[in-house]
Structure 1
Amino acid sequence: MQPAQAETVVSNTSSAAVDSNSGLCMGLKGNSTAAGTLVQAQSCNQSATQTWKYVRDSAGYYQVINSASGQCLDVPGATSAVDNNLQQWGCSGADNQRWNLSDQGNGQFALIAKANGLALTVYAGGTSNGTRIVQSTWSSTAQQRWKLPGATLNGSGPSSGAVLTLKGVDAGNCIGVAGNSTAAGAALQSQTCANTTFQQWKVVRDAAGDYTLTNVGSGQCMDVPGASTVGGAAIQQWGCSGADWQKWRFSEDGNGHYYLTAKSSGLSLDVAGASNASGAAIIQYRNLGQSNQQWTATAVSGSTGSTGGPVGFAAGVTGGQGGSVVTVTTPEQLKAALCGSQSNSTCTDNTPRIIRVSGSIDFRGTEGNKTEVGCTYSNNSCSVNGKSERILAVQSYCSGRSTYKITFDAAGKTPLLVGSNKTLIGVGANSGIKGKGLILRGGVSNIVIRNLSITDINDGVIWAGDAVTIDNASGVWIDHNYFARIGRQMIVTGWGTAKRVTISDNFFDGTTDYGHYCNGKHYWVMLLLAEDQTITLVGNRLHNTSGRSPETGKSDSAATGGIVHLVNNYYDGNYYFGLDGTPATAALLEGNYYGGGDYFFPILTDSTNDLVFAPLSANLTQANSSCSSILGRACVANSPNNLKQGATTDSFKLSAGVMSRIQATAGAAAAIKSIQPVAPASLPSRSTGPQASISN
């Protein structure tokens, strides 16, 4: 597992200091600016006397300077007396005005005086306006923990490269460009959310953790005019320069919202006058921890892009980021880079590493052939050009069938082990792996698989190899890959867990010389059976399939099959069924486009208890009563088109159990609502599979 990233307070930023126990803010008694004024806990308001600037010295200690008076938080006379009142005093740089801001997790800090080692404390845990603030021995109690909402950097901002809408918590409006202007200098506004490109922002993070925000509609950057440090200055768009006045820090408030603070001024994005009106100005202002300074960042579906990170359940997965970069061109190099050490068939290599596959690495023939007993498994023993689908005699698949020996390529049955903290990525649009798949098991985590063609694993021989297996693994992002001619599953989850998985923008090509129904369409596409799994399927193309797209379920011993979110996937040329729903796994389907097919059921439900929540335009109003209350946003209707030969929309159910499962699963609602689906009609024109532009 990746270690948690420590939170820090960024120097020269201004923020309220909020007591974690009472929710009161540190302010000045009587709002006085005089030296010697005592500090006290007060009901939070808009006063500058409750805002403090945090200035870090070379030794890592901070001066805490009141924004109204310009004076410093001070231990009177450098006393070590416990429960002594604290004050403000002219800044001198002495140790009794220097504080260690110690990260306590969950956005909370201890403020420990350098002079005596005592902690800033609300006396006796008081919750009344005017309670005095004292110094006392550190005991880790809530009244000694402080939130500094506008000054905290915790490293958990949005994925670099994502395209976001920024919706205000107070007004419920989105940040957009006035008049949809493309001109430099156009003002930013709080606008009624309309899902236009002028309300979408591409966020790119630099090595220091700061972001540039580029408007998708105009191509210009969010900008503080003239690098102003004045509170109330209006924010604009301007040509992107990479300067500090176009860099912003995302810091969380602990409730799934962000503050956005300008690097150049230390001031935070704010809706002027806390107005609820569409068209209100977006300004910068000292951070007061107010809801008109809090923003919900929602990823636009399909926005991962060439440098973007995962959306949905795998948001935050970084793979080998920060590790060495290795380029591999041979089977031996690839195997060693993916897993440098193993024990009992489990990879123990946790070293961060970015593995770049250059060209096609072909495992076929490298391990010889293997012969096992099997049987013909095509429906009614049919064939295409004399070729029938065959299956190895695993479990009871060949029960009652004539068996014979089947010879196949041995490499397909021995997938490559993948260790934790790895990124496996193809160089350009034509790199990949042939004849062997990947397996993630034994508790590995934080893995990225991108921009590869994974193909030709014993096509037509079931149980002779899968492309990607996830069996007791978490934090997995499978993105922009091409899967074709796989003997069994393109992606399969085993009986172990598969948590925080996102499968995005892949091209699942079922075109085959075999096919269970001898129609040139692959049946064995995705089998998702993990215990308590949380999986996002977004923006994928499923072409020429005839089943398991995906099939869900669980083992008999598992409590639940978890949650699968299918959003904005494009089905074309399909046969028989897409999703096979079950009572075990909760499936939420929204914004998917079904391009029709011969005898194709987008959803196959065998039981009235199947957990499927799949809105159509006809029942969207009913669906959104649940979507809005549980997810915090509306759902998007699925779009089934040109259904033929008896296929109906009856299986597009609104099972209440799906939303109940989402509500009861920690983090599920937040992961789902972080994706804003696009209109299904736009999906056929989107690019899926490997791209020349993807490089990390």
Structure 2
Amino acid sequence: MRSSASSPRRAAAVLALPLFAALTVTAPAGADAGPRQALQQLSPPGTGPRIWPDTPDGFAALPGLGRGPTTGGAGGKTVTVTTQAELNKYVTAAEPYIIRVAGRIDITPKGTELRVASNKTIIGAGTSGHIVGGGFFLRAGVHNVIIRNLTIRDTLMPDDDPGDDAYDYDAIQLDTADYIWIDHNRLSSMNDGLIDSRKDTTNLTVSWNHLLNNNKTFGIGWTSNVTSQITIHHNWFQNTKSRNPSADNIANLHMYNNHLQNITGYGNFVRGLTKAVIENSYYDTVRDPYYVEAGELVQRGNIVVNSTWGNGKVKEKGSAFDPKSFYSYTLDPAADVPALLRAYTGPQGNIGA
């Protein structure tokens, strides 16, 4: 949109998700393990196999609002879709569903954002799930949604202006939604945002995504309230311009182990009254890698190479908050982040397979 720890419930979710629970990938030699709280039963680095979780970490995993943590369509029927009509039927249904996207689905008319209802898991079957020419919209009141392991791409319009202002075609737009997990997707070449988290969307975790080749990448805000809680970790921002993310009026924003590469506009922009913590991320060839305006920013353990800040950019301010007062997590070394994310961001062949 254009701007101006194990539990009975978790066990039940695993049983309800036989298609993508306890999945493994082989880690490359020397690769670190990623967030330990999310990768249970993980072998030592470099020995494999890796087990990807079926439920999120971060703020999307916390209880609250009478409905957390995020479980998506757990407990609902599993369906496999190959057409836009099938996909739209199930994402808009009142009942919970686990929706496997098997193959390429071309969305018409171009730029259509399918209206996703609550209690849904939309997951690519291995690397085959492509949404081309459209995306998803989660309106006010929608909650408990997982969007995972998909490629969503290509709504660019040849007659649009350089600022992508004539067409509002997002990959994923969220307006006052809550308990959302966006994980292991590849999002690119959209005629507006890749992810727009708007109007007090909260308890959102965005993890292990590859966001590339876009102008407006990841915008957060469009609100005067300061209530949202968002975790953004292990994402690869590549060849993008602005909003990586632009984060306005967020009560608690935790970003860690992200990789920003070839960013021509600006990197992590902390705006409004946002309180942000940025940790162990890697910035390579980024204009203004991270900076704070009126909010608070704590940054630590980050690596910045081939990058510059403009005059007057404030790199840190205030004490923000302590993420560990909300949830446990373990950081990967910043130096390991580029290789780790090249190997594991975006759709994985054994998720949803």
TM-score normalised over the length of structure 1: 0.42
Q: 1:437 to 1:452 in 2, by over 3 A?
A: same
Tell me the equivalent position of 2:55: 309
Tell me the equivalent position of 1:299: none
Q: 1:547 to 1:326 in 2, by over 3 A?
A: same
Aligned with 2:251 (options 544, 552, 562): 562
Residues 1:653 and 2:313 are matched in the alignment = no
Q: 1:476 to 1:427 in 2, by over 3 A?
A: same
Residues 1:355 and 2:102 are matched in the alignment = no
3-state SS, counterpart of residue 503 of structure 1 = strand
Contact 2:169-2:192 within 8 A present in 1 as well: yes
Tell me the equivalent position of 2:208: 505
Q: 1:447 to 1:651 in 2, by over 3 A?
A: same
- Return the letter of the residue paired with 1:643: S
Aligned with 2:168 (options 424, 448, 464): 464
Tell me the equivalent position of 2:188: 484
Q: Deviations over 1:217-267 (max 9, x none)?
A: 6989xxxxxxxxxxxxxxxxxxxxxxxxxxxxxxxxxxxxxxxxxxxxxxx
Consecutive aligned runs of 4 or more in structure 1 exceeding 2 Å deviation: 152-162, 200-204, 213-220, 305-309, 458-464, 646-652, 668-671
Deviates more, 1:459-468 or 1:449-458: 459-468
TM-score normalised over the length of structure 2: 0.79
| 1:328-347 map, 5 Å | 328-340=81-93
Instruction: Identify unmatched segments of 5+ residues in structure 2.
Output: 1-5, 15-20, 23-31, 62-68
Tell me the equivalent position of 2:143: 445
Cα distance between partner residues in 1 of 2:45 and 2:57:
21
Residues 1:587 and 2:276 are matched in the alignment = yes
Tell me the equivalent position of 1:526: 218
Tell me the equivalent position of 1:676: 330
Cα distance between partner residues in 2 of 1:332 and 1:153:
37
| 1:111-126 map, 5 Å | none
Aligned with 2:44 (options 216, 229, 235): 216
Cα distance between partner residues in 2 of 1:157 and 1:654:
41
| 1:637-652 map, 5 Å | 637-644=301-308, 651-652=314-315
Contact 1:638-1:680 within 8 A present in 2 as well: yes
Cα distance between partner residues in 2 of 1:507 and 1:459:
22
Q: 1:649 to 1:157 in 2, by over 3 A?
A: farther
| 1:1-20 map, 5 Å | none
Cα distance between partner residues in 1 of 2:311 and 2:102:
45
Residues 1:690 and 2:347 are matched in the alignment = yes
Contact 1:328-1:334 within 8 A present in 2 as well: yes
Residues 1:614 and 2:299 are matched in the alignment = yes
Contact 2:152-2:187 within 8 A present in 1 as well: yes
Q: CA RMSD in A?
A: 3.0
Q: Deviations over 1:143-165 (max 9, x none)?
A: xxxxxxxxx96535899779xxx
Cα distance between partner residues in 1 of 2:215 and 2:274:
20
CA shift for structure 1 position 306: 3.4
Cα distance between partner residues in 2 of 1:655 and 1:335:
45
Contact 2:13-2:74 within 8 A present in 1 as well: no
Instruction: Identify unmatched segments of 5+ residues in structure 1.
Output: 1-151, 163-195, 205-212, 221-302, 341-348, 368-410, 511-521, 555-560, 616-636, 663-667
3-state SS, counterpart of residue 177 of structure 2 = strand
| 1:12-51 map, 5 Å | none
Cα distance between partner residues in 2 of 1:459 and 1:306:
36
Q: How many residues align?
A: 312
Cα distance between partner residues in 2 of 1:360 and 1:474:
28
Cα distance between partner residues in 2 of 1:354 and 1:536:
23
CA shift for structure 1 position 507: 0.4
Cα distance between partner residues in 2 of 1:649 and 1:692:
45
CA shift for structure 1 position 458: 3.0
CA shift for structure 1 position 586: 1.4
Cα distance between partner residues in 2 of 1:203 and 1:602:
29
Cα distance between partner residues in 2 of 1:650 and 1:689:
32
Contact 1:424-1:450 within 8 A present in 2 as well: yes
Residues 1:155 and 2:9 are matched in the alignment = yes
Contact 1:583-1:611 within 8 A present in 2 as well: no
3-state SS, counterpart of residue 260 of structure 2 = strand
Q: 1:563 to 1:332 in 2, by over 3 A?
A: same
Tell me the equivalent position of 1:7: none
| 1:390-409 map, 5 Å | none
Aligned with 1:576 (options 248, 265, 269): 265
Contact 1:327-1:357 within 8 A present in 2 as well: yes
Contact 1:202-1:216 within 8 A present in 2 as well: no
CA shift for structure 1 position 216: 3.3
Q: Deviations over 1:117-172 (max 9, x none)?
A: xxxxxxxxxxxxxxxxxxxxxxxxxxxxxxxxxxx96535899779xxxxxxxxxx
Cα distance between partner residues in 1 of 2:228 and 2:72:
19
Cα distance between partner residues in 1 of 2:184 and 2:271:
28
Tell me the equivalent position of 1:122: none
Which has the larger Rg? Answer: 1
Q: 1:159 to 1:602 in 2, by over 3 A?
A: farther
Q: 1:458 to 1:478 in 2, by over 3 A?
A: same
| 1:112-511 map, 5 Å | 154-155=8-9, 213=41, 215-216=43-44, 305-315=51-61, 316-340=69-93, 349=94, 351-363=95-107, 366-367=108-109, 411-412=110-111, 414-459=112-157, 461=160, 462=164, 463-495=167-199, 497-510=200-213
